[in-house]
Amino acid sequence: MNSKTVVRVGLVIVLIWVACMVFLPVSKMFDAEEFIDKKIRFSSVTGFWWRGVVNDLTVDYRAHRIDFGQLSWQVDWRTLLSSRWCIKGITSASKEAISTRFSACYRLFENDFQIIDTVINVNAKTLAQVSGVEIAGQWLVNIDSITIKNNRLVDIYGEAVWQRAQWHNGESWFALGDILSTFDTSQQSALMINTTDINGPLQVELTTLLFTQQHQYKQQNQQWKLKGFIEPYGQLPQSLTESLEFIASKIDGKRYYVEY
């Protein structure tokens, strides 16, 4: 066998291998039973690694099952020529009124994942079931960038709008208007959340700081701080006034200061 024949045979083998990889059904790569222990469930997967669909996707979280419905994804072929490989996807669920449009990227040199240009639309009732807090309305989350490295979130930038926000204080529902929260991790090992009421009966200016505190023996604890104020524009129901008085660290006129 001469060298040209060897080269041709080698090219044929490579082409067959590439074709098998490209057109290998994604169902052969994922087994639904393997994900049950990870609290992820789905009925079936169709398509290929570069384009496919996951049907009846659910995630178990704190004894609650969150329905994401159908998840579709497709590789962004333009990124394969760069050092950041990306896929674009969308989810839709009829039961939980939750939908997501996302882009996820793997950065070769940094060895991490990024979630970019992502929009999440979810009914507040779904969040209420998970958190145990009685709220209503609609959440619209815009994620500019989230970086995941070693299974940890290291950078988060984006914003969330709680539209037609309502909160139940134990006695009655109270309309809060529209509330905007921005996420920023420009401080090292800390996530800052600035919350503002942009359309409602209250002026809300709150800053939440979530950070990692280093202790002796290299132990790390997650800590948080909350600081700001809430000031009603008009007269509030007595039940809500009592709730604000309960959580306030200081009251100055109509302004309730919060610091924890």
Per DSSP bridges, beta strands 173-184 and 84-92 are: unpaired
For residues 162 and 124, is the Cβ–Cβ distance under 8 A? yes
Nearest to 204 by CA among 170, 185, 181, 236: 181
DSSP 237: P
The pLDDT of residue 243 is: 82
The pLDDT of residue 9 is: 47
The pLDDT of residue 22 is: 55
**pTM, to two decimals:** 0.79
- Whole-number Å distance between alpha carbons of 143 and 153: 13
All residue ranges of the chain with pLDDT < 70 are 1-25, 27-38, 94-97, 213-220
CA torsion, ordered 211, 66, 164, 226, to nearest 10 deg = -10
The pLDDT of residue 11 is: 56
The pLDDT of residue 173 is: 87
**Hey, what amino acid is at 15?**
L
The pLDDT of residue 128 is: 84
Q: Outline where DSSP puts E strands in the chain.
A: 40-41, 44-48, 51-61, 64-75, 84-92, 98-107, 112-123, 135-149, 152-168, 173-184, 190-199, 202-214, 220-232, 250-252, 255-259
